[in-house]
Amino acid sequence: MSPIKLLRQSTIDTLNSIDSLPTLPDLFLNIQSVLNTPESTLQDLTQAIEHDQTIAVMIVKIANSSYYNPMNKPTSSLSFAISRLGRIETSNIALSISLLYGFSLPTGIANMRRFWAHAFAVGQTCRKICIQRPKESQLNSDELFLSGLLHDIGRAILGIRIDPQYFEQDLANFHGEELIQAEQQAYGIDHAQVGAIILKQWGFPDAFCQRIRQHHSSNSCNINDNILALADSIVHQHLSNLTTIEEVEIKTRDSEFDAMITQHLTEMSW
């Protein structure tokens, strides 16, 4: 067996043998439970969020931004802020912030914010692509947002369980094929493969795990997989300088961003 294959098997064995693998934050799971309950209301979403002061303050702050508050009538009420943002946008922001503050990475807060800002941007871009392809009946924008939010979870796991210095090395600034090759050389496996393994252990469906595994490939015959790959590419090209969830929320609401997505879609063969 080649050294790379031996290294890969060692990494996989380490992942499979650890009983204390990190889990998704309770708040993340609670919000997902609300969203997966068809009869849930905005009040249910408010109750799921209100006990976390950090997320509540962030949602109020974004609701008071110029985009959502053009008449300059600020609010300090979480329920009113959620009504202003709407169910989808509130849940997107809350899920993202719950990961930022509830899923600790072995790196500084600036790197953590950048990491989850990228994830949030990819999720939002997935949803934007879905909106622009309304005739695709098999698209599930909520699921694709979640795919975007978790697409790089394998990088987090590599840092938490395989190499505590992961985010302090040069490869932390790599993306695309350059990142895949660097990880293969260092660990015998890449973050997309690790992500699929971990999400499978967390009970995510096989199709979801496969999408994460293939998010650096645009050659899938599955439209959902291609959307995630395109969204990741778009964010790296156009939103790589954003470092906070608030910045991403404002930028992805820009009409110029919508136009840019339209242009990318016209170049796709699927």
Question: Do 134 and 5 fall into the same domain?
Answer: yes
Match 């990228």 to its residue by tokens.
Answer: 118
pLDDT digits (tens, 9 = 90+) for 4-15: 777 888 888 888
Q: Which three-class secondary structure state does DSSP give residue 215?
A: coil
Predicted confidence band at 218 (pLDDT cuts at 50, 70, 90)? Answer: low
Domain boundary at 49, 71, 102, which? 102
Contact 31, 210 (CB under 8 A): no
Question: Do 191 and 263 fall into the same domain?
Answer: yes
Domain boundary at 82, 102, 122, which? 102
Amino acid of residue 213 = R
Question: Do 78 and 112 fall into the same domain?
Answer: no
Question: Do 269 and 156 fall into the same domain?
Answer: yes
Residue 54 structural domain: 23-102
Domain count, the chain: 2
Question: Within 10 A of 256 (CB to CB), how many other CB atoms are there?
Answer: 9
Q: In 3D, which of 216, 210, 209, 211 has the Cα closest to residue 184?
A: 216
Question: Within 10 A of 123 (CB to CB), how many other CB atoms are there?
Answer: 28
pTM > 0.85: yes
pLDDT digits (tens, 9 = 90+) for 11-53: 888 887 766 778 999 999 999 999 999 999 999 999 999 989 9
CATH number of the domain bearing residue 177: 1.10.3210.10
Question: Do 184 and 216 fall into the same domain?
Answer: yes
Question: Do 173 and 237 fall into the same domain?
Answer: yes
At residue 18, the pLDDT reads 67
Question: Do 143 and 270 fall into the same domain?
Answer: yes
DSSP-assigned letter for residue 68: T
Question: Do 116 and 89 fall into the same domain?
Answer: no
Match 């009970």 to its residue by tokens.
Answer: 203
Question: Do 88 and 121 fall into the same domain?
Answer: no
**pLDDT over 80 (residue 219):** no
Question: Do 60 and 149 fall into the same domain?
Answer: no
Contact 78, 56 (CB under 8 A): yes
Domain boundary at 102, 125, 146, which? 102
